[in-house]
A and B are shown apart, each in its own frame.
Chain A
Amino acid sequence: MAPRPKQGWFRGPRDAFATTGVLFREDPVRGVAATAMIFSDALSGPLLGLALAALVEDTARGHTGAAVFAGCCVAVLAVVQLTMGHFVTMVFGVLGERAAVATVNRLVRTVQDRVTLTRQEDPEFADELSLLEKDLFRLQFVVRGLLVTLAVVAQMVVTVVLLGRLQPLLMLLPVAALAPYFAGRYGQRIAERTRTDAEADQRRAYALLTLAQKPGPMMEIRLAGLAGELQRRQEELILGLGRTQRHAETLSALARTAGQLVFGLGYGTALYVVVRSAVQGHAGAGDVVLAIVLARQVATGVTQILSLALDMRLTGLIGARLRRIMTAAAQDEAAQDKAAQTGNGTRTSQAPDSLSEGIVLEGVCFRYPGGDRDILKDLDLTLPAGSVVALVGENGAGKSTLVKLLCGLYEPTAGRILLDGTDLATVAARRWRERTSAAFQDFVRLEFPVQQVVGVGDLPRVGDPDAARAALTEAGAMDLVDSFPEGLATPIGTSFAEGRDLSGGQWQKLALARAMMRREPVLLILDEPTAALDAQAEHALFERHLDRARRAAAARGAIALFVSHRFSTVSMADHIVVLEDGAVAEHGGHAELLASGGTYARLFELQARGYRGQAARRR
């Protein structure tokens, strides 16, 4: 807790201004216009005070013409005060929305392209990102708050100078305003801390609430009679959240009340001083009115600065979160560059576009950051160039982790992965990934028109209908797409008003088609891509796939690796690798492995029983 204020003090303004830059970068002209409007709005306050004083003074002296003019000035300034904020809101709306779109763009690029996958999967990073995402649409408000604060500060300077001309002692009035300022800061800090702490509970409650709208849980909840139970739990979370927040809100309100009280006393004193000096003949009635109006503006100004300074803290938070995420990205990139340099002398190696020897894993270990056990343990494995490899193993054996390492998504915590003898660590991960292609069990449900859902598998050809058709055919999904009235242009997914919802199997076929887009991958991985497909679709798919894999193998020594639980497909592979508990238990050809009578043979036999001979009759 001790270092916090310091951090807030030095970094807060810097982050806040960085955030302002984010807002204005997209539209500097509007930014400048909005800033000018904010300042004219703020400065109309002291001018209004002067005009009002003139009105009173001139009326009292019977200068009717001057008094009417002063009255008109008051009216115009008053309307400026009433409406300028509205026009500022309009301009800021555009600025804010534009900046939010641009920032999301920047963030998506950062988290999906620059940071490592392990970082992206880290819950703390996810929290930071989700808080930032939630705050982004407030960007315009907080930046506006920051500018208004500055404008109000300018307004205060003018006001204080005017007050000082009436009575120098009045220049001390803003000192009394420090009390509410610090009280407000204290309150804000409590509220912010509570918000961060409560984030997990709130997320959990809403996760349960939104889960109930997904088809599976929606049905389960009804069958199990869970409605009441779920309601009770969410209520507990929400009420617990409320208790924490109420405590924070109360403390913060108390602090602010105390701060306001101090200022109120200061204001009373100021009023007394001015009136007393008027009575002693140093000022007229108009001056007293000016003092009343201006001193009250110090109060409003202070309240405004107070509440807006709180926004500035939030501006700072947005800036700080953004900075931390960008720093993480820079670190990840630097770490990769460093690995690339130390691994192989000085230069980054090229990603191979063909293989002659193959991929060799030497003593590869992997452990999640902060994990307490190795998922892969000292794994040695050779994937010969031009082979079709099946990866077999029970759940939790480390298959998916191995796949991620091979795609360059994770880096080994120890050991090396060699591509024709070149350490993968010395190859830019991006370059290597361009040479791979993959379909995963937990594939992405991209909601775009079919053309793009499939096309992004090979970005340079994302809009190429022939390429998409070829890939769809390969994945056995062309029939499906032909059945759509709009064909490849059909939007997929329910985030579109007119989007088509697909079944699990249909989604999976599109994910497979995506993996078939790249023309010449050196490594093609299918990680249980057919779980939701029917038997015929799976069989046909694998036959086509193997055909293609063999051609790619002959042409450039490409390796096709697939993870499957179905031996009808596994046995089609040239080379079968059996993983057990994070290490290779055995490997070889189908016949060879069967003959050796090891894990593979046992697993095969287990599954074969299900198909062979009489069905086990049930009464």
Chain B
Amino acid sequence: MSSTSTQARRDRLRLLRLLRQAPRPLVALSILIQLILGAAPVAFMVFSSAGVGKVGAAAAGGTSSAAWHHLELLIVLAAATLVVGQVLAPVQQLIGWSLKYRIDVDTYRRLMAANYAAPGIAVLERPQVRAALDEVIADMRRTWVSLGGAAAAVLTLIARYTAFLGALAVVAVELGPVAALAVGAGGMVLRVTHRRGATAYSTAIVDTIQLRRRHGFLANQGLSPAIGKEARVFGFGPWFADRGSDEGLGYFRMLWKVRSSTFITPFVIAATVTALGTATALAQLAWPRFGGGLAAGTTALVAQAVLAVAGIGSSFDESDYPIAYGITSMRHLEQVEAAVAEARAATTNGMGTGTATPPVRPVRHSIRFEDVTFTYPGADEPVLSGLTLELTAGTSLAVVGVNGAGKTTLIKLLCRFYEPDSGRILADGLDVAALDAARWQRQIAATFQDYGRYPLSAADNIGFGAVELVGDRAAVDRAATRAGAADYLSTLPEGLETTLSRDFKGGTDLSGGQWQRVALARAMLAVEGGASVLILDEPTASLDIRAEADFIEGFLELTRGTTTIVVSHRFATVRRADRIVVLDGGRLVEDGSHDELMALGGRYAEMFTVQAARFAQPAAAGGSDGERD
């Protein structure tokens, strides 16, 4: 018991510490109001009971007697304390909202920091970290569970305990310590049961996080327009709905079990104890032999006080669950922050020497993979095993291979999103692991297969290639033109200012090919922003014919002289590279120019021929004037 309650107390204190994010006067004001809100009911019972005590005397003296005037004063005081409590409640709620908001803004900042701080991405891809992060975000979006709400809720305990202690004092003074102890302990037993129930329940919630995520995922996907086309063509909407329900009910049944074991027996026992304690105190009040049989006013006061003391055993709707959930939310956030901090430390310590990192310079000579081996966390087989590969600066390299050959992994390692298990990656002879990861990453411009589709303007979507050029309209225009995106973007309702998401009013969505060109424009902008290595991962996958041809003849020309790595299944794109490597099983199996590899008649030649067969004979409209330069 002590360890869990110590832990609970410590967690509450940590929640309270969050209040440091809020302005001090606001916190002080909140505490003051809570004290008043707690004292008001006690004052009310004191004044009103004193009034009850005066009724007899005033009745005897009539409405012009001093006793009546005294009684009038007591009534006014009692009414005033009640009014103060009632009027302050909305004010307190407003302050509570303010506190919650301030802290939640800070929580949001912490979330962003965690999201963006780690230079690698492995940490954010870890299932537990992702799950924890998603939970905190989900909690934030629910209006009633948040760190801020929980911290504000801790303050409301002040009012509860002030009222409790005040009433307890009244009982102790008027009826003695035994009665006070009986009812006080009785109430506290129930209180602790409430609090423990909330803690146990929120723990159960944390333990079933993955099931809940799955349940939420299915509900979310089920309601999303993204599955609309296939749901209708295949008619699987109702099936999907039922699958979601089945899994949801499975999850909730587990939860219901936990709930009935935590919330029935302990509560029945606690309620009995409380009833006995309260009955003991009240019986003593009624029994002259045990100190009771007091005057009417005192009886009224003590009876009300006993009830107020027992009231500590009520469920605190404003704080029990907000605090319990807030604590799980806080733990999740701290878990994410710790993981990110650890990853960050690991990355910066990777340099070995501990001295200042060498300055990052544009790549001028070469990039070299030296005997690089890499296995994804949790995987059995390495994706890359002993890969050695050198790329001369200012030339282009195409990487081909079947799906899963390790092409994208190679890129991720170069970007230092992951660190190799063994081997080194050298840029101009310098181990990139020794460089400041964030600075090195700025040297690289890239379009990935799953490039971002930001629910922002087209200009921002392109500007996001390089942070320095986000607002530089001329640079954005240039990049859009180079990537062949300018024409259709200018036809959008608000041109480049149009939001590229139909989820928002006035927004529009682009087709896959149009998006891809936006992503290319983004990479162009990054090159303009100073990146010296350009990575194109499947840059033409969803481009149409003209766009691909434009890309090959335009974009690739424009980027000539930039150190470029292209991963593609499209051999019209691949063959334009100065050098082509074929990856298989995590190793380099072929290496050479297009002509060399064709002459070799190996894997590359085979793959190329499959696609090119159709074009083998010159078409009626043209000859073999494919070379334009």
Alpha-carbon distance A280/B55, docked complex (angstroms): 9
Question: How many Å from the CB of B151 to the closest CB on chain A?
Answer: 16
Alpha-carbon distance A79/B578, docked complex (angstroms): 84
8 closest A-B pairs (Cβ-Cβ)? A610-B572, A112-B237, A268-B79, A71-B282, A264-B83, A67-B286, A217-B452, A227-B116
Q: Is residue A413 within 8 Å, beta carbon to beta carbon, of the partner chain? A: no
> Which of B115, B507, B621 touches A601 (beta carbons < 8 Å)?
B621
The answer to whether A59 and B299 have CB atoms under 8 Å apart is yes
Question: How many Å from the CB of B341 to the closest CB on chain A?
Answer: 15
Alpha-carbon distance A57/B48, docked complex (angstroms): 16
The answer to whether B239 and A459 have CB atoms under 8 Å apart is yes
Size class of the B contact interface (CB-based, 8 Å): 35 or more
Q: Is residue A426 within 8 Å, beta carbon to beta carbon, of the partner chain? A: no
Q: Mark B441-458, 1 if CB is under 8 A from A, else 0.
A: 110111011111011100
Given contacts A292-B48, A394-B544, 4 further A-B contacts (CB under 8 A): A71-B285, A85-B315, A107-B223, A213-B134
23 A-B pairs within 8 Å (CB atoms) are namely A62-B293, A70-B286, A75-B278, A75-B279, A78-B311, A81-B314, A82-B271, A113-B238, A207-B501, A208-B455, A216-B452, A225-B438, A225-B441, A234-B108, A235-B108, A246-B98, A279-B55, A286-B296, A396-B488, A433-B235, A438-B229, A438-B230, A604-B621
Question: How many Å from the CB of A392 to the closest CB on chain B?
Answer: 7
Q: Is residue B112 within 8 Å, beta carbon to beta carbon, of the partner chain? A: yes
The answer to whether B228 and A246 have CB atoms under 8 Å apart is no
The answer to whether B83 and A60 have CB atoms under 8 Å apart is no
The answer to whether A271 and B75 have CB atoms under 8 Å apart is yes
Q: Is residue A342 within 8 Å, beta carbon to beta carbon, of the partner chain? A: no
Stretch from A5-13, A32-40, A489-497, A546-554 that touches the partner? A489-497
> Which of A202, A276, A408, A443 touches B63 (beta carbons < 8 Å)?
A276
Q: Is residue B194 within 8 Å, beta carbon to beta carbon, of the partner chain? A: yes
The answer to whether A213 and B133 have CB atoms under 8 Å apart is yes
| In the complex with contacts A56-B303, A280-B63, A611-B572, A285-B618 CB distance below 8 A | no
Stretch from B26-34, B420-428, B609-617 that touches the partner? B609-617
Q: Is residue B337 within 8 Å, beta carbon to beta carbon, of the partner chain? A: no
Q: Is residue A29 within 8 Å, beta carbon to beta carbon, of the partner chain? A: no
| In the complex with contacts A59-B299, A85-B315, A223-B441, A531-B541 CB distance below 8 A | yes
The answer to whether B450 and A504 have CB atoms under 8 Å apart is yes
B33-74 residues with Cβ-Cβ distance < 8 A to A are: 44, 48, 51-52, 55-56, 58-59, 62-63, 68, 71-72
Question: How many Å from the CB of A394 to the closest CB on chain B?
Answer: 5
A427-476 residues with Cβ-Cβ distance < 8 A to B are: 429-430, 433-434, 436-438, 440-444, 446-448, 452, 456-459, 462
Alpha-carbon distance A457/B137, docked complex (angstroms): 34
The answer to whether A608 and B86 have CB atoms under 8 Å apart is no
Which chain B positions have C-beta within 8 A of A71?
Answer: 279, 282-283, 285-286, 303
Q: Mark B585-629, 1 if CB is under 8 A from A, else 0.
A: 000000001110000000000111011111110111110111111
Stretch from A117-125, A157-165, A350-358 that touches the partner? A117-125
Alpha-carbon distance A423/B355, docked complex (angstroms): 77
> Which of B111, B243, B286, B547 touches A59 (beta carbons < 8 Å)?
B286
Question: How many Å from the CB of A511 to the closest CB on chain B?
Answer: 8
Q: Is residue B543 within 8 Å, beta carbon to beta carbon, of the partner chain? A: yes
> Which of A208, A233, A457, A618 touches B396 (beta carbons < 8 Å)?
A618
> Which of B82, B105, B219, B275 touches A79 (beta carbons < 8 Å)?
B275
Q: Is residue B9 within 8 Å, beta carbon to beta carbon, of the partner chain? A: no
The answer to whether A430 and B245 have CB atoms under 8 Å apart is no
Alpha-carbon distance A168/B557, docked complex (angstroms): 94
| In the complex with contacts A85-B314, A275-B55, A268-B412 CB distance below 8 A | no
Alpha-carbon distance A21/B304, docked complex (angstroms): 40
The answer to whether A496 and B505 have CB atoms under 8 Å apart is no
Which chain A positions have C-beta within 8 A of B25?
Answer: none
Q: Is residue A185 within 8 Å, beta carbon to beta carbon, of the partner chain? A: no
Q: Is residue A404 within 8 Å, beta carbon to beta carbon, of the partner chain? A: yes
Q: Is residue A47 within 8 Å, beta carbon to beta carbon, of the partner chain? A: no
The answer to whether B90 and A104 have CB atoms under 8 Å apart is no
B497-535 residues with Cβ-Cβ distance < 8 A to A are: 501-505, 507, 511-514, 522, 526, 529, 531
A538-579 residues with Cβ-Cβ distance < 8 A to B are: 538-539, 565-568, 571
B212-241 residues with Cβ-Cβ distance < 8 A to A are: 213-214, 217-223, 225-241
Which chain A positions have C-beta within 8 A of B456?
Answer: 204, 208, 233
Chain B interface helix/strand/loop/mixed: helix
Question: How many Å from the CB of A65 to the closest CB on chain B?
Answer: 9
Alpha-carbon distance A539/B607, docked complex (angstroms): 10
Q: Is residue A129 within 8 Å, beta carbon to beta carbon, of the partner chain? A: yes
> Which of A208, A223, A252 touches B446 (beta carbons < 8 Å)?
A223
Best-surrounded residue of B72, B214, B468, B575 (most CB of chain A within 10 A): B214
A585-619 residues with Cβ-Cβ distance < 8 A to B are: 594-595, 597, 601-619
Q: Is residue A154 within 8 Å, beta carbon to beta carbon, of the partner chain? A: no
B84-134 residues with Cβ-Cβ distance < 8 A to A are: 86-87, 89-91, 93-94, 97-98, 101, 105, 108-109, 111-113, 115-117, 119, 121, 124-125, 127, 130, 133-134
The answer to whether B503 and A123 have CB atoms under 8 Å apart is yes
Alpha-carbon distance A72/B282, docked complex (angstroms): 7
Which chain A positions have C-beta within 8 A of B259?
Answer: 90, 93-94
A482-510 residues with Cβ-Cβ distance < 8 A to B are: 494-497, 503-506
Which chain B positions have C-beta within 8 A of A531?
Answer: 512, 541-542
Alpha-carbon distance A214/B317, docked complex (angstroms): 37
Chain A interface helix/strand/loop/mixed: helix
> Which of B219, B287, B505, B512 touches A528 (beta carbons < 8 Å)?
B512
The answer to whether A285 and B296 have CB atoms under 8 Å apart is yes
Q: Is residue B404 within 8 Å, beta carbon to beta carbon, of the partner chain? A: yes
The answer to whether A97 and B108 have CB atoms under 8 Å apart is no
Q: Is residue A171 within 8 Å, beta carbon to beta carbon, of the partner chain? A: no
Which chain B positions have C-beta within 8 A of A89?
Answer: 315
| In the complex with contacts A495-B217, A606-B549, A536-B607 CB distance below 8 A | yes
The answer to whether B229 and A404 have CB atoms under 8 Å apart is yes
Question: How many Å from the CB of B84 to the closest CB on chain A?
Answer: 8
Alpha-carbon distance A395/B87, docked complex (angstroms): 63
The answer to whether A442 and B231 have CB atoms under 8 Å apart is no
Alpha-carbon distance A271/B614, docked complex (angstroms): 97
Alpha-carbon distance A133/B218, docked complex (angstroms): 12
Q: Is residue A421 within 8 Å, beta carbon to beta carbon, of the partner chain? A: no
Q: Is residue B466 within 8 Å, beta carbon to beta carbon, of the partner chain? A: yes
> Which of A74, A85, A134, A256 touches B278 (beta carbons < 8 Å)?
A74
> Which of A82, A536, A610 touches B314 (beta carbons < 8 Å)?
A82
The answer to whether A279 and B63 have CB atoms under 8 Å apart is yes
Q: Is residue A224 within 8 Å, beta carbon to beta carbon, of the partner chain? A: yes
> Which of A78, A104, A409 touches B307 (beta carbons < 8 Å)?
A78
Q: Is residue B382 within 8 Å, beta carbon to beta carbon, of the partner chain? A: no
The answer to whether A56 and B403 have CB atoms under 8 Å apart is no
> Which of A260, A447, A494 touches B90 (beta carbons < 8 Å)?
A260
Q: Kindly report which residue of chain A lies nearest to residue B219, judged by CB atoms.
A: A104
Q: Kindly report which residue of chain B lies nearest to residue A214, judged by CB atoms.
A: B450
A314-359 residues with Cβ-Cβ distance < 8 A to B are: none
| In the complex with contacts A223-B445, A444-B230, A494-B127 CB distance below 8 A | yes
Alpha-carbon distance A284/B620, docked complex (angstroms): 114
Which chain A positions have C-beta within 8 A of B545?
Answer: 392, 394, 565, 567, 603-604, 606-607
A76-102 residues with Cβ-Cβ distance < 8 A to B are: 76, 78-79, 81-83, 85-87, 89-90, 93-94, 97-98, 100-102
Question: How many Å from the CB of A533 to the closest CB on chain B?
Answer: 7
The answer to whether B225 and A126 have CB atoms under 8 Å apart is yes
Which chain B positions have C-beta within 8 A of A279?
Answer: 55, 58-59, 62-63, 68, 71
Which chain A positions have C-beta within 8 A of B125?
Answer: 215
> Which of A134, A250, A536 touches B402 (beta carbons < 8 Å)?
A536
Question: How many Å from the CB of B237 to the closest CB on chain A?
Answer: 3
Which chain B positions have C-beta within 8 A of A81?
Answer: 314
The answer to whether B115 and A104 have CB atoms under 8 Å apart is no
Q: Kindly report which residue of chain B lies nearest to residue A430, judged by CB atoms.
A: B235
Which chain B positions have C-beta within 8 A of A566?
Answer: 570, 611
Alpha-carbon distance A393/B130, docked complex (angstroms): 41
